[in-house]
Each structure stands twice: as C-alpha cells, then as structure tokens.
Amino acid sequence: MSTIVRDVRPGDAVSVCRVLRAVLPHQVTTPESVLHEVRTAEPAARSRTVVAERDGEIIGTAAAGMLHDAREPGLSTLSVHVHPDHRGRGTGGLLLRTAQRHLAAEGATQVSTWATDEPASLSFAGRHGYRPSRSSCFQRLDLTEDALPPLPEPPPGVALRTVADFADDPRPVYRVDTEATTIDPADIDTEFAEYDDWLEHTWAHPLMDRALSTVVLKDGEPVAFTLVESDGRARYHSGVTATVPAHRGRGYAKLAKSHSLHRARDAGYQSAFTSNDVDNEPMLAINTWFGYRVCGTEVRHTRSLG
C-alpha cells in the first residue's frame, strides 16, 4: 500500500473533517469550516493544504502558509495531522516535508507549528528540528453534568446583547475585537485584520454562532465579548473572550461568558471547550470558576528553514 500526497479538493471536506475530529477532539470542526478555511485563505499567505491518501482513503492532512500579517518577514506556519489509526507508517513525515518544501519555495526563513504535549508528538517535532517554546492548554466543560455557577445579573449601566443583534452593522464588534484581543501572550508581532478581512474570516465563518456569542455594553458602548464557535448541535467552543483595556477588572468577560454558557446549556449543547495560553492567568481563573477542566496541552515549536 502506497501513500500519495496531493492538494486538497472540495470533495475532501468530509474526510478531512473526520481526520481533524479524531486528532483534535477538543476543537469544533465541520466540513463547511474546512472548505471555508481553504476558500478564504489570504492570497498574500501563499498557503497550501494537502491530504495524504492511501488506497483511496484520506488518512492525514497538512496546511502551510506565510504569516503575511507578521511585522517580521519570512515567518510561516504549518500544521500536520494524521489519523490515530494510521500513524507510525511515515505519513506524518511525508506531509511535513511537503509543507516545508512549499514554505521554503515561498521564501520562508522560520516556521512554527503546534505539537500535542505527548511523547510521540514531541519526539516527532524534535526529530525534525523543531524546538519548543510556550504552551497552551485545552479545557472542557460537560454541560450535561457539570453545574454552572448561578447566572449573574448585569450591574447598573451594563446590558448584554448577542452578536446577532449587530447583524446590520458589525463594526462595534470589530472594534472590541481590535482593542481587546491583545491580552493573550504571543511570540509573533502581527497586525490586526482590516475590517473587510475580519468580515470574511471571522464574522462570516461558518462556525461563528452569533446567537450564542455575547457582547457586554457599558452605558451603551460595547466593552467586552465572548465569540463562540459551534457545530449548531452539541459542541460549543469559546473562540475569544476579552475586554477592552479601559474596562478590565470589572467582571465583564465572566459576565459575557456566563450568559453565553447558560444559553448553550439550555439549547441542548453537551460539551463546551476553550483554550488559553498557560500564562493567561485571568482567563484560566475564569474558566476554572466555571468548572472547566484541562483536557490537553499543546506546545508551540519553531525551526529555521533554508
């Protein structure tokens, strides 16, 4: 049996989704989100997504692209995922080499990736010249069994809205995003997306759940939010929860997330997931308060190309 690596096709979305769900059970992935990521890739990123196929079955996938919004030139990123039932046969190495060759041809001088904090994954990264840096942890909340803290009432002058309430003009949500999401630690200095790009990649993303995403307003001004990704049925993921700098420390992020989680539970969602940099102590504390439990860790790795 031989394995071939080829560019992804629209008809591969269901199979790629199956691989990603098996490898990344703590994330929300749908065939529609797979297609959206490929179709809306920024031309400046010069990205490429490939699949590994054996006897007509897709058993792995890799994505690579330049970090076109990074202030430092030559930076790039890649991801490699192989279905757990098909590991140990060289598929991961084949996908990795394909992705690295693509990036080198596009002028990349440094590449970053994430590896799960497991011996096999860390060993794979190390053997291929990648060195670890910071870590991020995944957390899960069982909405069918774990009791949520009581739903808090907004303080005077504070109101809550869903992101769907901003459908006619999403700019206020965009403004909160541009101001608030600088809270997480980062190894790479990037520029925030322009409004039109944000509309395409965030607002119009098929996983964006505008009914569960929640915005906090202080005296009518949006100051905090939680943006939610979901599969529309059972799985909920907090994409971003943040507060603009001038209003931090007042519990607004917790308020937004609390109302969103209660609505998700009442709507029949079963599992809520989130992830945070291990140094993001404010959000880790909030998630612990909600009852989230760590279900996995991944480590960012980098290596030079050329």
In-domain check, residue 243: yes
pLDDT reported for residue 70: 78
In-domain check, residue 305: no
Q: Which of 20-29, 176-185, 288-297 has the lowest mean pLDDT?
A: 176-185
CATH number at 196 reads 3.40.630.30
pLDDT reported for residue 260: 98
Band (pLDDT 50/70/90 cuts) for residue 225 is very high
In-domain check, residue 122: no
What secondary structure does DSSP assign to 32-65, as a single string? HHHHHHHHT--GGGT-EEEEEEETTEEEEEEEEE
Mean pLDDT to the nearest integer, 254-282: 95
182 and 85 share a domain? Answer: no
93 and 190 share a domain? Answer: no
Mean pLDDT to the nearest integer, 117-138: 95
182 and 245 share a domain? Answer: yes
279 and 198 share a domain? Answer: yes
In-domain check, residue 30: yes
Alpha helices (runs of H) in 184-251, residue ranges in sequence order: 195-198
In 50-59, which positions are buried (b, 16+ CB within 10 angstroms) versus exposed (e)?
A: bbbbeeeebb
Band (pLDDT 50/70/90 cuts) for residue 182 is low
pLDDT tops 80 at residue 186: no
In-domain check, residue 49: yes
Mean pLDDT to the nearest integer, 32-58: 95
In-domain check, residue 189: yes
234 and 94 share a domain? Answer: no
Q: How many domains does the chain have?
A: 2
For 24, the domain range is: 3-108
Domain boundary among 108, 133, 157: 108
For 196, counting Cβ atoms within 10 Å of its Cβ (0-12 exposed, 13-18 middle, 19+ buried), the class is: exposed
Per residue in 49-78, pLDDT (tens digit) is: 999 999 999 999 999 999 987 778 999 999
